């Protein structure tokens, strides 16, 4: 394997800055790897030798090209890229070439990054295994019989499989953190509103957030720094006012680290390997000087229930625009308009998307709204209040990222509820809108035996305190010294 593929992005940037490495050579090494990939991680790739120049900064944006110096980046296919096919993993958008570029991608370009490829994903980001892609599942580079997690499974597999130095994805209930955990990389979901959602194909608007998937915490900070900030095209974006510091912390001295045993114990099917890795992580936290404190998150275990009302409700509305009238797939009917709608959507959407559109339509229906949507919003508020109260007693909270290591392809496809529980630990932070990061904490043997697989640790802090979150994650990352890489 080309040794350039082993470098973290920050390490490559240092070499490029020092004149020891050409940005084009670095880009080409990845373009070649992506071209020869066998994980089905990419849906579109830059042709080797045809690296696009970074776009000029938007006039008046105050942003200058340069920080990211021609670095290649893989982008989840949920982000609109002008003139480049953007499918959101769906048949209904096959061949769709957006007339504009998402703000997050544009900002990366303005910072000097270049698009390496568009990554595979669960259709419209609905899934936890990337098996819901209309373009075939993504394979986990650690074990190709297993899933990479989802929905940003293509981005996670590309970074873990050395097909990209780093990537961006989106997280609605765990879609960055869970695949990062299952692929042994770092995945950050920033505070809701930190990064513009403009140009991100919407799944659940009040939850969707863009974030980085990287080899290490420093790389995550670099990408966050390049993408975050208020965008006048997204009214819900506010940016991180204090900015993003590159992490430097090497201990956790003086930090109070909350553990919500109650929440963790309600979890179904936490694998022994995951539980053991988590306990070891707590020991490491104390070795680093952190004080482990018991906190309560009494409503967090209802997160999945609330999430599977709110997210489908918003999705049922967000996905209604795929009607065959203006772009994307259209299947004409013989009996006019309604039949055209029905046929287009019947053929264009996969089973999971249909399931959630129906769930959401039902939840918003007159007469049911209060019982479902209204109630779910109240649970959401309670969960946010739980975190606020807990953060009065601690600086950060840790949980396992996923109850399991990477599972086998097909293991949960017939059981949607089992699939939904993959996000048990990640959904509460999404509902509360607070930042959370997953870092690799070690390896564990899967329940059925076989080679060891990565286990992630999730850290979360109050809204817009990403610098603190990254600092703590950086200290733990050093201590864990996770050296594992797929064979």
Partner 1 sequence: MNERGATSEARYEPVIGLEIHVQLRTRTKMFCGCELSFGDRPNVHTCPICLAHPGSLPTTNERAVLYALEIALALDCEIAPRSIFARKNYFYPDNPKAYQISQYDTPLATAGRLGEVRIHRVHLEEDAAKLVHVSESGRIHGSGESLVDFNRAGTPLVEIVSEPDLRDPAAAREWLQLLRTTIRQIGASDVNMEEGSLRCDANVSLRPAGSSGLGTKTELKNMNSFRFIERGIAAEIERQRAILDAGQEVVQETLHFDPRGGSLTSLRSKEEAHDYRYFPEPDLVPLAPTEAMLARARESLPELPAERRERYAAELGLAAAQATQLAFDAELGDYFERVVESAPDVDAPVIANWVAGDLVAALRDADQDGDSPASSRVEPPALGKLAAMAQRGEVSSGAARSVLAAMVAEGGDPRAIVEREGLGQIDDSGELEAIVGRAIEAEAEAAERVRGGNPKAIGPLVGFVMRETKGRAEGAEVTRLIRERLGA
Residues that bind partner 1 (CB under 8 A): 78-80, 86, 88, 93, 96, 98-100, 102, 197-202, 204-206, 232-236, 313-314, 316-317, 320-321, 323, 325-327, 336-337, 341, 361, 364-366, 369, 373
Give the residue from 333, 299, 292 showing the smallest Cα distance to 472.
292
Annotated active-site residue 248? The verdict is no
Side-chain-side CA neighbours of 358 within 13 Å: the count stands at 9
Rounded to whole angstroms, the Cα distance separating 325 from 98 reads 15
**Least distance in angstroms from the C-beta of 102 to partner 1:** 6
Per-residue CA distances from 120 to 138, 157, 378, 460, 462 (Å) = 7, 9, 34, 27, 31
Of 207 and 244, which has the nearer Cβ to partner 1?
A: 207
Q: Which sign does the torsion angle of CA 359, 363, 365, 368 carry?
A: positive
Question: What's the token pair of residue 437?
Answer: 């990061």
CA 401 to chain centre: 12
- The SS3 of residue 209 is strand
* Beta bridge partners of residue 159, listed in sequence order: none
Q: What are the CA-CA distances from residue 40 to residues 26, 37, 131, 340, 404 (Å)?
A: 22, 7, 11, 32, 23
| Minimum CB distance to partner 1 smaller for 99 or for 254 | 99
Instruction: Provide the 10 A C-beta neighbour count for residue 464.
Output: 22
CA 149 to chain centre: 10
The verdict on whether 366 is a catalytic residue reads no
CA 153 – CA 161 distance, rounded (Å)? 11
The tokens 């105050």 sit on which residue? 62
- Our CB check for partner 1 shows the closer of 87 and 264 to be 87
Q: The tokens 């390049």 sit on which residue? A: 226
Half-sphere exposure of 280 (CA within 13 A, CB side): 16
Q: Is 323 exposed, middle or buried (0-12, 13-18, 19+ CB in 10 A)?
A: middle
Phi, psi of 276 (to 5 degrees): -65, -45
Nearer to partner 1, 107 or 197 (CB): 197
Is residue 474 within 8 A of residue 249, CB to CB? The reply is yes
Candidates 175, 264, 301, 438; catalytic one: 175
Using DSSP's 3-state secondary structure scheme, residue 106 falls into helix
Neighbours of 355 (CB within 10 A): 14
Q: In what order do the strands lie in the sheet with 72-76?
A: 42-45, 114-119, 72-76, 166-171, 209-214, 186-189, 436-444, 453-460, 396-400, 256-259, 291-294
Pick between residue 179 and residue 328 the one whose CB is nearest to partner 1: 328
| Residue 235 among the catalytic residues | no
Active site residue: 8, 129, 133, 151, which one? Answer: 151
Which residue lies nearer to partner 1 by CB, 87 or 284?
A: 87
Length of the chain, in residues? 487
Q: Which residues are catalytic?
A: 76, 151, 175
């Amino acid at each position: 394997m080309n040794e350039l593929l082993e470098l973290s992005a920050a390490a490559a940037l240092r070499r490029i800055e020092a004149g020891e490495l050409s940005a084009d050579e670095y880009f080409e090494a990845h373009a070649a790897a992506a071209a020869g990939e066998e994980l089905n991680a990419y849906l579109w790739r830059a042709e080797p030798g045809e690296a696009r120049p970074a776009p000029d900064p938007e006039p008046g944006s105050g942003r200058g090209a340069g920080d990211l110096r021609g670095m290649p980046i893989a982008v989840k296919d949920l982000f609109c890229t002008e003139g480049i096919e953007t499918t959101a993993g769906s048949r209904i958008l096959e061949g769709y070439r957006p007339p504009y570029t998402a703000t997050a991608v544009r900002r990366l370009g303005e910072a000097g990054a270049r698009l390496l490829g568009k990554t595979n994903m669960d259709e419209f980001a609905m899934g936890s295994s990337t098996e819901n892609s209309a373009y075939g599942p993504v394979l986990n580079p650690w074990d190709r019989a297993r899933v990479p997690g989802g929905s940003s499974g293509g981005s996670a597999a590309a970074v873990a499989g050395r097909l990209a130095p780093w990537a961006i994805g989106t997280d609605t209930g765990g879609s960055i953190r869970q695949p990062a955990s299952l692929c042994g990389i770092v995945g950050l979901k920033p505070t809701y509103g930190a990064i513009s959602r403009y140009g991100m194909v919407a799944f659940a608007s009040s939850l969707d957030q863009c974030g980085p998937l990287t080899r290490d915490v420093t790389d995550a900070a670099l990408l966050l720094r390049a993408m975050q900030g208020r965008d006048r095209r997204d009214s819900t974006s506010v940016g991180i006012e204090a900015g993003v510091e590159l992490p430097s912390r090497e201990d956790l001295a003086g930090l109070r680290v909350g553990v919500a045993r109650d929440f963790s114990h309600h979890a179904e099917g936490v694998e022994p390997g995951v539980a053991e890795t988590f306990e070891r992580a707590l020991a490491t936290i104390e070795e680093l000087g952190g004080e482990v404190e018991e906190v309560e998150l009494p409503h967090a275990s209802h997160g999945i229930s609330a999430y599977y009302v709110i997210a489908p409700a918003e999705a049922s509305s967000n996905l209604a625009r795929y009607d065959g009238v203006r772009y994307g797939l259209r299947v004409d009917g013989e009996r006019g308009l309604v039949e055209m709608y029905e046929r287009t959507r019947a053929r264009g959407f996969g089973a999971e998307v249909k399931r959630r559109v129906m769930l959401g339509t039902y939840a918003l229906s007159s007469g049911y709204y209060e019982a479902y949507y209204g109630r779910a919003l109240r649970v959401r508020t309670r969960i946010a209040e739980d975190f606020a109260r807990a953060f009065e007693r601690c600086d950060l909270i840790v949980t396992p990222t996923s109850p399991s290591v990477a599972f086998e392809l097909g293991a949960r496809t017939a059981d949607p509820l089992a699939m939904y529980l993959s996000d048990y630990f990640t959904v509460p932070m999404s509902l509360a809108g607070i930042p959370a990061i997953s870092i690799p904490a070690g390896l564990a043997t899967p329940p059925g035996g076989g080679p060891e697989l990565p286990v992630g640790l999730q850290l979360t802090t109050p809204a817009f305190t990403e610098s603190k979150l990254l600092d703590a994650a950086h200290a733990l990352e050093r201590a864990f010294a996770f050296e594992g890489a797929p064979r």
